Structure 1
Amino acid sequence: MGTGFSFFSRDIPSSSPPIKPGLGDLPESCVSSILMSLDPLEICKSAQINKAFRAASLADFVWESKLPSNYKFLVDKVLDLESLPKKELYAKLCQPNRFDGGTKEAWLDKSCGQVFLAISSKALRITGIDDRRYWSHISTEESRFHTVAYLKKFWWVEALGELEFEFPPGSYNLYFRLQLGKTCTKRFGRRVCTVDQVHGWHIKPVRFQLSTSEGQHAVSECYLHEVGSWVHYHVGDFVVNKPNMPIKINFSMVQIDCTHTKGGLCLDSVLITPSKFREKLIKCT
């Protein structure tokens, strides 16, 4: 009897097999280091893996590594708030943030944290803008600023702008967002654009220019010919080399050939984007 019992007892494992370590066993500091190598959207997705990843995804040093080098300037310039956790700060900076009396707007691209900037037509010095015989301001949902400058008819077309801003080091493009035709409210759910006042743009090209306080210059010319849709006209590029240093930019669009009038033009805004987004912007135009 005792012999039989000892025989069967040898087939019973003395202890259960060792449990293999999983992702949940990684130290939070280790997980945080892993998350620093991911982009912001991947970090948010990783937070759903387990508690360790969720806790690590909230670490300030993780999100500070995703913020642009000029984020303190952006906080002072466009945000009016107390100190926030870096993840919340990143989220707020990814939203469109107005400054300079609501005539300018800055935001970060959610996927990479690079800086974008838009300047309303109301922030530009436009020749004749106060004379309603030639220019008017039109309300429209097609502008991020909800208003555009509309040229009815004039000989001298000149829009000048300037900006002093701190950009992270990198290469940037500057565009004028224009449309030939007057945008109207939607009718029966369809977009309506009247083009009866469009004239004069095929005779001579529009001249675009930019210059910076660091001695960079760019000039481009083109005819405005695409009627009824918004187009981003590329003015030129500039490069920022010095971190945490404001740069001054002057830019303009001019068509001052007084042998003929021009009209039917909507001037929405000026857009500054990182150069890597140029192809994407052209496709969306």
Structure 2
Amino acid sequence: MKCIELNMLPEDCVSIIISLTSPLDACRATLVSRAFRSAAESNVAWEKFLPSDYEDIVSRSITSLKFSSKKELYLHLCNPILIDGGRKSFKLDKSSGKKSYVLSSRELSITWSDRPEYWSWKPSLKSRFLEVAELRMISWLEIEGKIRTHMLSPNTMYRAYLLINITHRAHGLDLLPSDTFLEMGNQIISANTAYLSCKDKKKHQMECLFYGNRTQRTKSRVIEGDERFARERDDGWMEIELGEFFSGDEEGDQEVKMSLREIKGYQLKGGLVIEGIEVRPK
């Protein structure tokens, strides 16, 4: 059987072959030869790497995206863009093309966030969004976000993270760990506990001493599960993992609920800043 060298194939055929690989492989193919470079940068190849609903996503961007090729559009989308009136952020993973979203605090359900005595809405230089939610003082902390699986890349493991900061006036946040839940359909698939901030150990010890007996009585009400802690990010925020889930195939569509609650301790809490919830590939 006679073998045919790839560089002898028509450029369209090579483009189709490259489109069956990955964006990272396509970039590597540009180094093989001049012919490969042309095929690897073609619209035929890069349209396959874009999500199937890319035209809808581009139309929802709050800024006009200018591009002369599908590869250029792909690279644009590898940097976060604001969509849906600036209430969500969208981006593609550069090496895989998988989709990720950040739901702004305005997209979340935050109990009593419409009451200025409990929550304030303010701009933040660190945030990608116009405003963030800052907890002034409350005893009932409940935050929930929702996303549908058809918005995500199919057959992909995702993790959800609450994006937060803690002000210097923070108090009462970690006397008890918060409960985190991730629900898919009507089934809870992840339930754990999380500490929002334990940076100031002396302050935490003083609060535990002050609330003492109440803390011990209410600890028995906290769900059992892995204890998670806020982790610092490169963008100036901290993140707490809420759970992970599998997006399923393109035919199915389920609602995913992601939440954090601390409603058992009844102590006053304050100084928590919410940017949103990020849903990204694992």
Q: State how far apart, in whole Å, the 2-side matches of 1:273 and 1:83 are.
A: 25
1:127 aligns with 2:99: no
Residue 178 of structure 1 is matched in structure 2 by 164
Residue 263 of structure 2 is matched in structure 1 by 256
> C-alpha displacement at 1:220, in angstroms?
1.4
> C-alpha displacement at 1:216, in angstroms?
5.2
1:75 aligns with 2:55: yes
Q: TM-score, normalised by structure 2?
A: 0.72
Instruction: Specify the code of the residue in structure 2 equivalent to 1:63.
Output: W
The 1:198/1:172 distance shift into structure 2, 3 A limit, reads same
Residue 268 of structure 1 is matched in structure 2 by 275
Greater C-alpha radius of gyration = 1
Aligned with residue 28 of structure 1, among 11, 25, 42 = 11
| Mean Cα deviation higher: 74-83 or 84-93 | 74-83
Alignment of 1:22-61 (within 5 A): 27-29=10-12, 31-32=14-15, 35-36=18-19, 39-44=22-27, 46-47=29-30, 50-61=33-44
Structure 1: tracts of 5 or more residues without a match: 1-21, 182-194, 276-285
Residue 197 of structure 2 is matched in structure 1 by 225
The 1:226/1:46 distance shift into structure 2, 3 A limit, reads farther
The 1:78/1:56 distance shift into structure 2, 3 A limit, reads closer
Q: Deviations over 1:71-119 (max 9, x none)?
A: 2334324535999854344234323233333211221111110111110
Is the 1:216–1:238 contact (alpha carbons within 8 Å) kept by the matching residues of 2? no
Q: TM-score, normalised by structure 1?
A: 0.71
Aligned with residue 245 of structure 2, among 235, 238, 241 = 238
Aligned with residue 211 of structure 1, among 180, 183, 206 = 183
Q: State how far apart, in whole Å, the 2-side matches of 1:137 and 1:96 are.
A: 23
> C-alpha displacement at 1:27, in angstroms?
4.9
Instruction: Specify the code of the residue in structure 2 equivalent to 1:222.
Output: A
Secondary structure at 1:87 match in 2: helix
Residue 144 of structure 1 is matched in structure 2 by 128
Q: State how far apart, in whole Å, the 2-side matches of 1:137 and 1:50 are.
A: 55
Q: Pick 1 or 2: higher relative contact order, CA cutoff 8 A, min separation 6.
A: 2
Structure 2: tracts of 5 or more residues without a match: 201-231
Is the 1:31–1:52 contact (alpha carbons within 8 Å) kept by the matching residues of 2? no
Is the 1:210–1:219 contact (alpha carbons within 8 Å) kept by the matching residues of 2? yes
Q: State how far apart, in whole Å, the 1-side matches of 2:188 and 2:43 are.
A: 37
Secondary structure at 1:72 match in 2: coil
Is the 1:180–1:227 contact (alpha carbons within 8 Å) kept by the matching residues of 2? no
> C-alpha displacement at 1:261, in angstroms?
0.4
Is the 2:149–2:248 contact (alpha carbons within 8 Å) kept by the matching residues of 1? no
How many residue pairs get aligned? The number is 237
Residue 71 of structure 2 is matched in structure 1 by 87
Q: CA RMSD in A?
A: 3.1
